[in-house]
A = this chain, B = another copy of it.
Protein backbone atom coordinates (compact mmCIF):
# COMPACT_ATOMS: atom_id res chain seq x y z
CA UNK A 1 0.00 0.00 0.00
CA UNK A 2 3.03 2.30 0.02
CA UNK A 3 3.12 4.92 -2.70
CA UNK A 4 4.97 3.94 -5.82
CA UNK A 5 8.68 4.82 -5.58
CA UNK A 6 10.01 7.06 -8.36
CA UNK A 7 11.77 5.02 -10.98
CA UNK A 8 15.21 5.48 -12.44
CA UNK A 9 14.91 8.24 -14.99
CA UNK A 10 11.84 9.79 -13.44
CA UNK A 11 11.90 13.58 -13.31
CA UNK A 12 10.80 14.11 -9.69
CA UNK A 13 12.37 12.84 -6.47
CA UNK A 14 9.14 12.39 -4.47
CA UNK A 15 6.22 10.25 -5.60
CA UNK A 16 4.73 12.03 -8.59
CA UNK A 17 1.27 13.56 -8.22
CA UNK A 18 -1.52 14.40 -10.60
CA UNK A 19 -0.40 18.05 -10.82
CA UNK A 20 3.12 16.96 -11.82
CA UNK A 21 1.63 15.14 -14.77
CA UNK A 22 -0.56 18.14 -15.68
CA UNK A 23 2.46 20.44 -15.57
CA UNK A 24 4.66 18.11 -17.61
CA UNK A 25 1.98 17.63 -20.26
CA UNK A 26 0.86 21.29 -20.28
CA UNK A 27 -2.78 20.48 -19.55
CA UNK A 28 -5.23 20.97 -16.71
CA UNK A 29 -5.62 18.53 -13.83
CA UNK A 30 -9.11 17.75 -15.12
CA UNK A 31 -7.65 16.69 -18.44
CA UNK A 32 -5.23 14.32 -16.72
CA UNK A 33 -8.11 12.88 -14.75
CA UNK A 34 -10.11 12.50 -17.94
CA UNK A 35 -7.25 10.66 -19.63
CA UNK A 36 -7.23 8.21 -16.73
CA UNK A 37 -10.95 7.85 -16.16
CA UNK A 38 -12.65 8.73 -19.45
CA UNK A 39 -9.96 8.54 -22.09
CA UNK A 40 -12.44 8.40 -24.91
CA UNK A 41 -13.54 12.00 -24.25
CA UNK A 42 -9.99 13.33 -24.73
CA UNK A 43 -8.50 14.09 -28.13
CA UNK A 44 -5.96 11.48 -29.25
CA UNK A 45 -2.99 13.88 -29.42
CA UNK A 46 -3.66 15.23 -25.91
CA UNK A 47 -4.20 11.77 -24.54
CA UNK A 48 -0.94 10.60 -26.05
CA UNK A 49 0.93 13.55 -24.47
CA UNK A 50 -0.59 12.96 -21.05
CA UNK A 51 -0.01 9.19 -21.24
CA UNK A 52 3.65 9.74 -22.01
CA UNK A 53 3.98 12.19 -19.10
CA UNK A 54 2.35 9.66 -16.78
CA UNK A 55 4.76 6.99 -18.00
CA UNK A 56 7.83 9.24 -17.89
CA UNK A 57 7.08 10.44 -14.36
CA UNK A 58 6.12 7.01 -13.07
CA UNK A 59 2.80 8.38 -11.84
CA UNK A 60 0.60 5.67 -10.35
CA UNK A 61 -3.00 6.65 -9.74
CA UNK A 62 -3.81 3.98 -7.18
CA UNK A 63 -2.44 1.01 -5.38
CA UNK A 64 -1.92 -2.23 -7.24
CA UNK A 65 -5.01 -3.87 -8.62
CA UNK A 66 -6.73 -6.12 -6.17
CA UNK A 67 -6.21 -9.77 -6.76
CA UNK A 68 -9.01 -12.05 -7.82
CA UNK A 69 -8.20 -14.40 -4.95
CA UNK A 70 -11.41 -13.82 -3.04
CA UNK A 71 -13.75 -14.17 -5.99
CA UNK A 72 -15.70 -17.29 -6.68
CA UNK A 73 -15.98 -17.00 -10.41
CA UNK A 74 -14.66 -14.49 -12.87
CA UNK A 75 -14.65 -13.70 -16.54
CA UNK A 76 -11.43 -12.69 -18.23
CA UNK A 77 -11.72 -10.45 -21.28
CA UNK A 78 -9.08 -10.73 -24.00
CA UNK A 79 -8.77 -8.90 -27.28
CA UNK A 80 -8.73 -11.03 -30.43
CA UNK A 81 -7.72 -9.47 -33.73
CA UNK A 82 -9.23 -10.56 -37.02
CA UNK A 83 -7.28 -13.47 -38.49
CA UNK A 84 -4.27 -12.08 -40.31
CA UNK A 85 -3.03 -15.28 -41.92
CA UNK A 86 0.62 -16.11 -41.85
CA UNK A 87 2.58 -18.78 -40.08
CA UNK A 88 3.06 -17.34 -36.59
CA UNK A 89 -0.47 -16.26 -35.67
CA UNK A 90 -0.87 -19.69 -34.13
CA UNK A 91 1.11 -18.61 -31.05
CA UNK A 92 -1.60 -16.25 -29.78
CA UNK A 93 -4.26 -18.81 -30.65
CA UNK A 94 -2.42 -21.46 -28.65
CA UNK A 95 -2.25 -19.01 -25.75
CA UNK A 96 -6.02 -18.49 -25.92
CA UNK A 97 -6.63 -22.24 -26.09
CA UNK A 98 -4.49 -22.72 -22.98
CA UNK A 99 -5.99 -19.74 -21.16
CA UNK A 100 -9.49 -21.09 -21.77
CA UNK A 101 -8.51 -24.56 -20.64
CA UNK A 102 -6.75 -23.44 -17.45
CA UNK A 103 -9.40 -20.83 -16.66
CA UNK A 104 -12.09 -23.50 -16.98
CA UNK A 105 -10.34 -25.61 -14.36
CA UNK A 106 -10.62 -22.63 -12.00
CA UNK A 107 -14.27 -21.88 -12.80
CA UNK A 108 -13.27 -18.81 -14.79
CA UNK A 109 -14.42 -17.86 -18.28
CA UNK A 110 -12.68 -16.27 -21.24
CA UNK A 111 -14.58 -13.57 -23.15
CA UNK A 112 -13.33 -12.39 -26.54
CA UNK A 113 -13.72 -8.92 -27.95
CA UNK A 114 -12.40 -7.07 -30.98
CA UNK A 115 -11.25 -3.50 -31.42
CA UNK A 116 -9.55 -1.74 -34.27
CA UNK A 117 -7.30 0.43 -32.08
CA UNK A 118 -6.57 1.36 -28.47
CA UNK A 119 -9.35 3.99 -28.49
CA UNK A 120 -12.00 1.50 -29.50
CA UNK A 121 -10.53 -1.03 -27.09
CA UNK A 122 -10.99 1.37 -24.17
CA UNK A 123 -14.63 1.91 -25.13
CA UNK A 124 -15.14 -1.84 -25.42
CA UNK A 125 -13.40 -2.58 -22.11
CA UNK A 126 -15.50 0.04 -20.35
CA UNK A 127 -18.69 -1.60 -21.65
CA UNK A 128 -17.56 -5.05 -20.57
CA UNK A 129 -16.35 -4.00 -17.12
CA UNK A 130 -19.13 -1.53 -16.30
CA UNK A 131 -21.71 -4.02 -17.49
CA UNK A 132 -20.29 -6.73 -15.26
CA UNK A 133 -19.62 -8.93 -18.28
CA UNK A 134 -15.94 -9.18 -17.41
CA UNK A 135 -13.96 -8.51 -14.26
CA UNK A 136 -10.38 -9.15 -15.32
CA UNK A 137 -8.40 -8.45 -18.46
CA UNK A 138 -5.50 -10.02 -20.31
CA UNK A 139 -3.87 -7.43 -22.55
CA UNK A 140 -1.73 -8.21 -25.56
CA UNK A 141 0.54 -5.93 -27.55
CA UNK A 142 1.26 -3.45 -24.76
CA UNK A 143 3.66 -0.58 -25.40
CA UNK A 144 5.39 2.25 -23.56
CA UNK A 145 2.81 4.71 -22.21
CA UNK A 146 -0.04 2.36 -23.09
CA UNK A 147 -3.35 4.11 -22.22
CA UNK A 148 -5.01 0.77 -21.50
CA UNK A 149 -2.68 -0.17 -18.65
CA UNK A 150 -3.08 3.23 -17.01
CA UNK A 151 -6.83 3.10 -17.28
CA UNK A 152 -7.10 -0.44 -15.92
CA UNK A 153 -4.74 0.30 -13.03
CA UNK A 154 -6.81 3.35 -12.09
CA UNK A 155 -9.99 1.30 -12.08
CA UNK A 156 -8.22 -1.28 -9.90
CA UNK A 157 -9.29 -3.89 -12.43
CA UNK A 158 -7.12 -7.01 -12.17
CA UNK A 159 -5.16 -7.35 -15.38
CA UNK A 160 -2.00 -8.87 -16.76
CA UNK A 161 -0.23 -8.34 -20.06
CA UNK A 162 1.12 -11.02 -22.39
CA UNK A 163 4.21 -9.18 -23.55
CA UNK A 164 6.54 -6.69 -21.93
CA UNK A 165 5.81 -2.99 -22.35
CA UNK A 166 9.45 -2.57 -23.56
CA UNK A 167 9.63 0.71 -21.65
CA UNK A 168 9.91 1.87 -18.10
CA UNK A 169 6.21 1.77 -17.29
CA UNK A 170 6.23 -1.85 -16.27
CA UNK A 171 4.47 -1.31 -12.97
CA UNK A 172 1.74 -3.72 -13.97
CA UNK A 173 1.87 -7.50 -14.03
CA UNK A 174 3.08 -9.10 -17.22
CA UNK A 175 4.24 -12.42 -18.61
CA UNK A 176 6.49 -12.71 -21.59
CA UNK A 177 8.73 -15.18 -23.37
CA UNK A 178 12.48 -14.71 -23.02
CA UNK A 179 13.26 -14.45 -26.71
CA UNK A 180 16.96 -13.80 -26.14
CA UNK A 181 17.24 -17.03 -24.15
CA UNK A 182 15.69 -18.87 -27.09
CA UNK A 183 18.08 -17.56 -29.74
CA UNK A 184 20.98 -18.09 -27.30
CA UNK A 185 20.09 -21.78 -27.09
CA UNK A 186 19.73 -22.04 -30.85
CA UNK A 187 23.06 -20.31 -31.46
CA UNK A 188 24.87 -22.49 -28.92
CA UNK A 189 23.48 -25.59 -30.57
CA UNK A 190 24.50 -24.37 -34.04
CA UNK A 191 28.03 -23.50 -32.89
CA UNK A 192 28.45 -26.97 -31.40
CA UNK A 193 26.99 -28.90 -34.32
CA UNK A 194 27.46 -26.84 -37.50
CA UNK A 195 30.41 -24.45 -37.33
CA UNK A 196 31.52 -20.96 -36.30
CA UNK A 197 29.64 -18.99 -38.96
CA UNK A 198 26.19 -18.85 -37.40
CA UNK A 199 24.20 -16.06 -39.05
CA UNK A 200 21.00 -14.40 -37.88
CA UNK A 201 18.00 -13.65 -40.08
CA UNK A 202 15.80 -11.05 -38.40
CA UNK A 203 13.48 -8.13 -38.93
CA UNK A 204 14.55 -4.49 -39.29
CA UNK A 205 15.75 -3.09 -35.95
CA UNK A 206 13.36 -1.22 -33.69
CA UNK A 207 10.82 -3.78 -32.52
CA UNK A 208 11.17 -4.91 -28.91
CA UNK A 209 10.52 -8.53 -29.79
CA UNK A 210 12.86 -8.59 -32.78
CA UNK A 211 15.70 -6.78 -31.03
CA UNK A 212 15.38 -9.15 -28.06
CA UNK A 213 15.68 -12.21 -30.29
CA UNK A 214 18.66 -10.72 -32.10
CA UNK A 215 20.37 -9.91 -28.79
CA UNK A 216 20.46 -13.57 -27.74
CA UNK A 217 22.26 -14.50 -30.97
CA UNK A 218 24.65 -11.54 -30.84
CA UNK A 219 25.68 -12.29 -27.26
CA UNK A 220 26.45 -15.92 -28.16
CA UNK A 221 27.97 -15.83 -31.64
CA UNK A 222 31.76 -15.69 -31.14
CA UNK A 223 32.45 -14.09 -34.49
CA UNK A 224 32.21 -10.29 -34.29
CA UNK A 225 31.60 -10.18 -38.01
CA UNK A 226 28.89 -12.79 -37.96
CA UNK A 227 26.40 -12.21 -40.73
CA UNK A 228 23.14 -10.47 -39.87
CA UNK A 229 20.49 -10.68 -42.60
CA UNK A 230 17.36 -8.53 -42.55
CA UNK A 231 13.98 -9.36 -44.03
CA UNK A 232 10.42 -8.28 -43.55
CA UNK A 233 8.13 -10.93 -42.01
CA UNK A 234 7.30 -12.98 -45.08
CA UNK A 235 8.41 -16.26 -46.63
CA UNK A 236 8.96 -14.62 -50.00
CA UNK A 237 11.15 -11.81 -48.69
CA UNK A 238 13.23 -14.16 -46.51
CA UNK A 239 13.77 -16.49 -49.43
CA UNK A 240 15.08 -13.66 -51.60
CA UNK A 241 17.39 -12.34 -48.88
CA UNK A 242 18.92 -15.74 -48.15
CA UNK A 243 19.20 -16.58 -51.86
CA UNK A 244 21.23 -13.41 -52.35
CA UNK A 245 23.50 -14.25 -49.40
CA UNK A 246 24.13 -17.77 -50.72
CA UNK A 247 24.76 -16.44 -54.24
CA UNK A 248 27.32 -14.02 -52.84
CA UNK A 249 29.14 -16.93 -51.22
CA UNK A 250 28.71 -15.61 -47.68
CA UNK A 251 30.29 -17.95 -45.09
CA UNK A 252 27.30 -19.68 -43.57
CA UNK A 253 27.37 -22.76 -41.34
CA UNK A 254 23.91 -22.31 -39.84
CA UNK A 255 21.10 -19.76 -39.66
CA UNK A 256 19.09 -18.69 -36.60
CA UNK A 257 15.84 -16.93 -37.52
CA UNK A 258 13.51 -14.52 -35.70
CA UNK A 259 10.41 -16.42 -36.89
CA UNK A 260 9.28 -19.58 -38.63
CA UNK A 261 8.15 -17.53 -41.65
CA UNK A 262 11.73 -16.38 -42.09
CA UNK A 263 13.01 -19.92 -41.50
CA UNK A 264 10.69 -21.40 -44.14
CA UNK A 265 11.86 -18.79 -46.65
CA UNK A 266 15.48 -19.52 -45.77
CA UNK A 267 14.86 -23.25 -46.17
CA UNK A 268 13.37 -22.78 -49.65
CA UNK A 269 16.36 -20.67 -50.68
CA UNK A 270 18.82 -23.24 -49.29
CA UNK A 271 17.10 -26.10 -51.13
CA UNK A 272 17.10 -24.12 -54.39
CA UNK A 273 20.83 -23.39 -53.96
CA UNK A 274 21.68 -27.05 -53.37
CA UNK A 275 22.22 -26.54 -49.64
CA UNK A 276 19.23 -28.48 -48.33
CA UNK A 277 21.45 -29.60 -45.42
CA UNK A 278 22.04 -26.05 -44.09
CA UNK A 279 20.96 -26.10 -40.41
CA UNK A 280 18.16 -23.55 -39.95
CA UNK A 281 16.37 -22.78 -36.67
CA UNK A 282 13.05 -20.95 -36.68
CA UNK A 283 11.11 -19.28 -33.88
CA UNK A 284 7.57 -20.17 -32.70
CA UNK A 285 7.58 -23.91 -33.42
CA UNK A 286 4.58 -23.65 -35.71
CA UNK A 287 2.92 -26.50 -37.59
CA UNK A 288 4.53 -25.16 -40.77
CA UNK A 289 8.04 -25.64 -39.35
CA UNK A 290 7.08 -29.06 -38.05
CA UNK A 291 5.63 -30.07 -41.43
CA UNK A 292 8.84 -29.17 -43.25
CA UNK A 293 11.03 -30.69 -40.56
CA UNK A 294 12.70 -27.46 -39.42
CA UNK A 295 14.05 -27.00 -35.89
CA UNK A 296 12.42 -24.13 -34.04
CA UNK A 297 12.22 -22.32 -30.72
CA UNK A 298 9.05 -23.20 -28.86
CA UNK A 299 7.47 -20.29 -26.95
CA UNK A 300 5.47 -22.56 -24.63
CA UNK A 301 2.28 -20.46 -24.69
CA UNK A 302 0.71 -22.91 -22.23
CA UNK A 303 3.32 -21.81 -19.64
CA UNK A 304 2.58 -18.19 -20.43
CA UNK A 305 -1.15 -18.74 -19.90
CA UNK A 306 -0.55 -20.55 -16.62
CA UNK A 307 1.66 -17.76 -15.30
CA UNK A 308 -0.84 -15.11 -16.43
CA UNK A 309 -3.63 -16.82 -14.50
CA UNK A 310 -1.40 -17.18 -11.44
CA UNK A 311 -0.74 -13.45 -11.51
CA UNK A 312 -4.44 -12.63 -11.93
CA UNK A 313 -5.38 -14.95 -9.10
CA UNK A 314 -2.65 -13.64 -6.83
CA UNK A 315 -1.20 -17.11 -6.36
CA UNK A 316 2.17 -15.97 -7.65
CA UNK A 317 2.99 -12.73 -5.87
CA UNK A 318 6.13 -10.91 -4.86
CA UNK A 319 8.30 -12.90 -2.44
CA UNK A 320 8.17 -10.16 0.20
CA UNK A 321 4.42 -10.41 0.47
CA UNK A 322 3.87 -6.93 -0.92
CA UNK A 323 1.21 -6.31 -3.47
CA UNK A 324 3.73 -5.26 -6.12
CA UNK A 325 2.93 -6.48 -9.60
CA UNK A 326 4.98 -9.44 -10.72
CA UNK A 327 6.73 -10.14 -13.95
CA UNK A 328 7.33 -13.61 -15.33
CA UNK A 329 9.73 -14.45 -18.14
CA UNK A 330 9.04 -17.88 -19.58
CA UNK A 331 12.10 -19.73 -20.86
CA UNK A 332 11.50 -21.08 -24.36
CA UNK A 333 12.90 -24.40 -25.48
CA UNK A 334 14.74 -25.48 -28.58
CA UNK A 335 12.92 -28.19 -30.56
CA UNK A 336 15.37 -30.00 -32.82
CA UNK A 337 14.28 -31.82 -35.98
Chain A residues proximal to chain B, CB less than 8 Å: 75, 80-83, 85-87, 89-90, 93-94, 96-98, 100-101, 104, 109-115, 124, 128, 133, 235, 261, 264, 286-288, 290-292, 301-302
Residue in B closest to A109 when the chains form the complex, CB atoms? B111
Assess whether A109 is in contact with B113, with CB atoms less than 8 Å apart.
yes
Return the contact of A111 from the options B75, B89, B264, B292 (Cβ within 8 A).
Answer: B75
Return the contact of A96 from the options B111, B112, B261, B264 (Cβ within 8 A).
Answer: B112
Assess whether B110 is in contact with A112, with CB atoms less than 8 Å apart.
yes
Given A109-B133, A264-B292, A286-B287, 11 additional A-B pairs, CB 8 A: A80-B97, A83-B97, A83-B302, A100-B112, A101-B114, A109-B112, A111-B111, A261-B291, A287-B288, A288-B288, A288-B292
Assess whether A104 is in contact with B113, with CB atoms less than 8 Å apart.
yes
A124: chain B residues within 8 A (beta carbon):
104
A75: chain B residues within 8 A (beta carbon):
111, 133
Residue in B closest to A99 when the chains form the complex, CB atoms? B112
Residue in B closest to A79 when the chains form the complex, CB atoms? B100
Q: How many angstroms between the C-alpha atoms of A302 and B83 in the bound complex?
A: 9
Residue in B closest to A128 when the chains form the complex, CB atoms? B109
Q: How many angstroms between the C-alpha atoms of A124 and B110 in the bound complex?
A: 13
Assess whether A235 is in contact with B291, with CB atoms less than 8 Å apart.
yes
Assess whether A81 is in contact with B97, with CB atoms less than 8 Å apart.
yes
* A75, A81, A288: most-surrounded residue (chain B CB, <10 A): A288
A110: chain B residues within 8 A (beta carbon):
111-113
Q: How many angstroms between the C-alpha atoms of A87 and B289 in the bound complex?
A: 10
Return the contact of A90 from the options B93, B96, B114 (Cβ within 8 A).
Answer: B93
A133: chain B residues within 8 A (beta carbon):
75, 109
CB distance from A310 to the nearest CB of B (A): 18
Q: How many angstroms between the C-alpha atoms of A8 and B144 in the bound complex?
A: 64
CB distance from A304 to the nearest CB of B (A): 12
Assess whether B109 is in contact with A82, with CB atoms less than 8 Å apart.
no
Return the contact of A93 from the options B83, B288, B292 (Cβ within 8 A).
Answer: B83
Assess whether B112 is in contact with A98, with CB atoms less than 8 Å apart.
no
Return the contact of A288 from the options B96, B114, B291 (Cβ within 8 A).
Answer: B291
A104: chain B residues within 8 A (beta carbon):
113-115, 124
CB distance from A207 to the nearest CB of B (A): 21
Residue in B closest to A104 when the chains form the complex, CB atoms? B114
CB distance from A262 to the nearest CB of B (A): 11
* A83, A114, A287: most-surrounded residue (chain B CB, <10 A): A287
